Amino acid sequence: MSEYTSILVEKIEQVALSRLNRPKAYNALNKELLAELMGALASFDADDSIGAIVITGSDKVFAAGADISEMAGKSAVEMCDLDNISIFDKIMTISKPIVAAVSGFCLGGGSELAMSCDMIVASESAVFGQPEINLGVIPGAGGTQRLTRAVGKALAMEMVLNDRRITAQEALQAGLVNRVYPLDSYFDEALKLAGEISVRAPLALAACKKMVNLAYEKSLKKGLAEERQAFYDLFDSEDQDEGMQAFLEKRKPEWKGK
Ligand code: DAK
């Protein structure tokens, strides 16, 4: 796990932690960092001893966006060739639950990264924003789409058109984050939340995550049909037998992920 230079990784019981670690550049997301992060997430996803993932930065900055020095001077074709977005999109292929533990600046691509996670636990000092308008561009990795779905049109418009930055409390009220804690406890609380999730039935967790995300993609009718199929499919799993038997025998289930 020491092959990374722009992130730090660690395993804490059944939770894998990935910490963005370019402090001098405020964790700006360059190609190397994104590739390392997505590679680490893929390896966590393939590891049966890991049940959930936490992505974090430092107390001061989660990430101040994509790396402007990497993008400056590029043409449209060169930006496509840089291919950061296809690296970024790999996060959508991760089946395990991902919690973002966010503190300080969470801007541009940083906010888009946090929104690509399944839940966000924030410190009171977290600030969310999409300042791309100041650079003459627009958000390109979900900052107009996921943000609008999360906070609604009114606030999203202010954020993308006029660089309105919102505090953690505002983000909580708007539905962008799950929980807000003081600076000295947000990270432990994020780990605790991920820890609780990490020991739950793996196949059902993956199906839950997939189905909730599907609610953004499909009509209600199609979503309900897929949900029902996924529900039936789990009746072919050992974990469904175990979960229901354990309930009837008044004992704790032992999940196998099968
Ligand atoms: N990129 C590169 N370096 C950055 C950076 C960034 N986004 N943000 C900060 N830094 C660097 C600064 O250059 C500075 O480096 P030195 O000068 O010390 O070498 C260091 O981090 C500290 O920054 P400041 O001196 O500015 O610190 P302050 O506390 O005064 O201000 C700040 C902190 C976060 C408010 C400020 O640094 C800031 O405004 N940063 C830029 C925020 C921003 O505009 N973010 C949006 C970036 S655009 C894509 C899809 C999406 C995207 C890209 C591609 N595809 C479709 C391929 C996403 C785009 C973006 O995110």
Shared domain check, 215 and 161: no
Residues 127 and 227 placed together within one structural domain of the fold:
no
Whether the full predicted model's pTM is greater than 0.85, yes or no, is: yes
What CATH number does residue 167 fall under? 3.90.226.10
Alpha helical stretches, state H, 46-167? 68-71, 76-82, 84-88, 109-116, 146-151, 153-162
The one-letter amino acid code at 43 reads: S
Whether 255 is covered by a domain: the verdict is no
Residue 188 makes CB contacts below 8 A (sequence gap 6+) with none
Compute the average pLDDT of residues 7-25: 98
Residues 181, 61 share a domain: yes
Is residue 219 located within the same domain as residue 234?
yes
* Domain identity same for 143 and 112: yes
With cut-offs at 50, 70 and 90, classify the pLDDT of residue 2: low
Q: Please state the domain count of the chain.
A: 2
Cα of 147 from ligand 1 centre, angstroms: 19
Q: What is the pLDDT of residues 59-110, one digit of tens each?
A: 999 999 999 999 999 999 999 988 888 888 899 999 999 999 999 999 999 9
- Count Cβ neighbours within 10 Å for each residue of 159-192 and write b for 16 or more, e otherwise: bbeeebbbebebbbebebbbebbeeeebbebbbe
Domain match, 155 and 244 both: no
Domain boundaries, position 18: 7-198
Testing ligand 1's pocket by substitution, the residue of 22, 26, 115 carrying the most ligand atoms inside 8 A of its CB is 26
- Tell me how far apart the alpha carbons of residues 164 and 139 are, in angstroms, rounded to a whole number: 14
User: In the predicted model, is pLDDT for residue 218 greater than 90?
Assistant: no
Instruction: Check whether residue 36 and residue 77 sit in a common domain.
Output: yes
Both 30 and 101 in one domain: the answer is: yes
Catalytic residues: 66, 109, 112, 132
Amino acid 88: pLDDT: 85
Report the C-alpha gap between 136 and 53 in whole angstroms. Answer: 34
Average pLDDT of 159-186?
98
Domain check: are 217 and 150 in the same one? no
Establish whether residue 75 lines the binding site of ligand 1, counting it when its CB lies within 6 angstroms of any ligand atom: no
Assess whether 122 and 103 both reside in one domain: yes
Whether residue 1 is contained in a domain is answered as no
In CATH, what number is assigned to the domain containing residue 212?
Answer: 1.10.12.10
Q: Are residues 88 and 126 in the same domain?
A: yes
Same domain, 191 and 218: no
